[in-house]
Chain A
Amino acid sequence: MSEIHKDIDELLSCYIDGELSERGRTEIKRLIRHDKSIAGRLGRLRKQKQLLNCLPVAPAPEGLLEDIKASLKPKPILKRYLSDAEESAGARHLLFRRVLTAAAIFILVGVLAGVVFNVIMPDAGSHEPVAIQPADSSQDAGGAKEAVVESTAVEGGMTPDSYPFHAALELASYNSIAVNGFIAKAIYSNGLVDNTIPEREATLSTYHVNCTTAQIVALLADLEAVWEKCRQTSLTIYAEDRDSEIMINNITSAQAIAVFAQDKPDERTELAQNYADFNALIRDQLDGGDFALSRDEEQFVPSIPIKPDLTRPEQPVRRDQPQTGTSVNLIITVTGL
Chain B
Amino acid sequence: MQVQKQLEKTIIDDAILVRQSQRGDSVATGRLITKYRDRIYNAILKICANSHDAAELTQETFVKCIEKINTFEGKSAFYTWLFRIAVNLTLNYCKRRTRTRAQSLQSVVAEESDGAAVELGAFLADQSAADPAVLAQDAEIGEIVLGALTRLEEHHRAVVILRDIEGMSYSEIAETLHIEVGTVKSRLSRARANLREILKAVLYP
Contact = CB atoms under 8 A, between A and B. Distances in A.
B38 A19 contact: no
B145 A55 contact: yes
A23 to B, nearest CB: 16
Interface residues of A, number: 33
A52 B196 CA distance: 12
A93 interface: no
Interface string B32-76: 011001101110011000010001001110110011000000000
Which residue of B45, B55, B142, B192 has the most chain A CB atoms within 10 A of its CB atom?
B192
Contact of A54 (B37, B124, B136, B185): B136
Given A13-B185, A19-B169, A67-B59, A55 B38 contact: no
Given A48-B196, A53-B164, A58-B45, A64 B189 contact: no
A10 interface: yes
Interface majority SS on B: helix, strand, loop or mixed? helix
Contacts of B60: 71
A115 interface: no
Contact of A48 (B63, B133, B192): B192
B20 to A, nearest CB: 17
B186 interface: yes
B135 interface: yes
Contacts, number: 113
B158 interface: no
A80 interface: no
A60 B59 CA distance: 10
Contact of A52 (B37, B164, B170): B164
A148 to B, nearest CB: 95
B136 A13 contact: no
Given A14-B185, A51-B124, A51-B145, A64 B33 contact: yes
B184 to A, nearest CB: 9
B132 interface: yes
A59 B38 contact: yes
A313 B34 CA distance: 117
Nearest to A19: B170
Given A40-B126, A44-B126, A54-B132, A60 B38 contact: yes
B66 A72 contact: yes
Contacts of B160: 52
Interface in A1-38: 6, 9-10, 12-14, 17, 19
A74 to B, nearest CB: 12
Contacts of A121: none
Contacts of A71: 59-60, 63
B146 interface: yes
Given A19-B169, A47-B132, A13 B145 contact: no
A218 B49 CA distance: 123
B195 interface: yes
A119 interface: no
Interface of A: 6, 9-10, 12-14, 17, 19, 40, 43-45, 47-61, 64-65, 67-68, 71-72
Given A61-B41, A65-B30, 8 more contacts: A6-B190, A9-B189, A9-B192, A17-B163, A44-B196, A52-B145, A55-B165, A72-B66
